[in-house]
């Protein structure tokens, strides 16, 4: 699978929404409070709501989607509509193609030859654990690598929203495997896209993918070999998927996150709420 690096993913706070938790999840989570600092033996299984359907969104699901799987389009569109970033859905689809080939459980770090990805998630965890709120499943996240539709590094995924809402970030008590659930992955992606658009110089659509790979490339790395190769690959991916990035009817020339409703609202709209003992 494609390697995805989220350099500075934040967090969020959760409110509202319906979500199912398995019996196993309830039992496991009740035994291991985050405050104890201990890593639970077995992360709970959490079952978020399934993929959204066409009726759950109002945005167009036919025009300029190329070969994006029909049943994933409402998820990308829901991310766009919830985040209020017009054009985000198709861009997220191209990113998902690169990072996971649209496989929701894609993982880098679960195979013997993927030590580098495990090293990345370990580094991510070690470098930030002192300054970020504790993760209940921090050790598992450190050993997880990256995964999900958008190729998120597990620790950064679980810290999604921390810069915005601090220790109210909604995934601090969740296990890293939550990234395999598409609604949660989309939440992380929406927050990250918002941050890129608000905090970095993003000149055009391909710059978003550059920031996805490494936001440092949008600063000092701009114009360099890696910057250019990420852009080139992104444009190739868009062509392969069949999404016309120049179609301004569906993707504005520059995405705009000024209407961002806030991390809690996006979490509520995409994910719902985690069980109380995990939130």
Partner 1 sequence: MTPDLRCYGDDIQSVADLVPDFDLRSPMDVESWYPREWQAIADTLGFAQQLAAAPRAMPTTPDRITAMTLVGLMAFEHALRAGRPGVPESQARVQSAVLQAMTATGLERGELWRVTADPTTLATGACYAEGGRSLRAFYPDTAPGYFGDGWNGPPPRAESACGWQTPLVLHLGTFPWVYSSRLGHIGPGARWASSASQPALEGLHVVASLLEPATNLRQDARQVAAIYRHFATHTAPLVAALPSFQPGRAEAGRLYRRGRFLLAHQGSLHVAALDGPRGRLAASAYNYILRRFASFFAVRRAALRSLATLPFEVQRRAATSADPCLRQQVEGVARAS
Helix axis angle for 88-100 and 182-199, nearest 10°, is 120
Write down the least CB distance from residue 72 to partner 1, Å.
5
Q: Which of 81, 57, 82 is nearest to 70 (CA)?
A: 57
Closer to partner 1 at the Cβ: 76 or 200?
Answer: 76
Q: Which of 130, 127, 156, 151 is nearest to 141 (CA)?
A: 156
Residue ranges binding partner 1 (CB under 8 A): 20, 22-24, 47-48, 50-51, 53-55, 60-64, 66-67, 69-73, 101-105, 177, 180-182, 242
CA atoms within 13 A on the CB side of 68: 29
Tokens linked to 138: 């921090």
Write down the least CB distance from residue 274 to partner 1, Å.
15
Write down the least CB distance from residue 180 to partner 1, Å.
4
Write down the least CB distance from residue 107 to partner 1, Å.
10
What are the angstrom distances between the C-alpha of 3 and each of 119, 166, 236, 274? 12, 27, 16, 28
The answer to whether residues 241 and 98 touch, using CB atoms and an 8 Å cutoff, is no
């Amino acid at each position: 699978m494609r390697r995805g690096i989220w350099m500075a993913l934040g967090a969020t706070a959760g409110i509202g929404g319906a979500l199912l938790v398995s019996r196993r999840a309830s039992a496991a989570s009740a035994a291991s409070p985050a405050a104890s600092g201990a890593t639970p033996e077995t992360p709970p299984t959490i079952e978020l709501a399934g993929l959204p359907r066409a009726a759950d969104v109002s945005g167009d699901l036919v025009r300029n989607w190329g070969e994006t799987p029909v049943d994933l389009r409402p998820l990308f569109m829901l991310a766009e509509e919830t985040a209020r970033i017009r054009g985000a859905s198709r861009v997220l689809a191209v990113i998902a193609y690169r990072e996971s080939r649209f496989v929701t459980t894609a993982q880098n770090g679960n195979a013997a030859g993927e030590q580098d990805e495990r090293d990345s998630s370990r580094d991510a965890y070690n470098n930030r654990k002192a300054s970020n709120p504790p993760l209940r499943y921090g050790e598992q996240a450190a050993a997880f690598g990256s995964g999900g539709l958008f190729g998120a590094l597990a620790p950064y995924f679980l810290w999604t929203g921390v810069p915005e809402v601090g220790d109210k970030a909604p995934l601090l008590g969740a296990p890293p495997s939550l990234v395999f659930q598409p609604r949660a992955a989309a939440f992380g992606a929406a927050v990250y896209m918002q941050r890129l658009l608000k905090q970095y110089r993003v000149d055009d659509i391909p710059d978003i993918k550059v920031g996805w790979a490494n936001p440092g490339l949008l600063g000092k790395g701009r114009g360099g070999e890696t910057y250019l190769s990420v852009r080139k690959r992104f444009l190739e991916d868009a062509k392969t998927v069949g999404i016309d990035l120049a179609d301004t009817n569906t993707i504005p020339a520059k995405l705009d996150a000024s209407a961002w409703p806030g991390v809690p609202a996006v979490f509520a709209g995409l994910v719902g709420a985690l069980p109380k003992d995990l939130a």
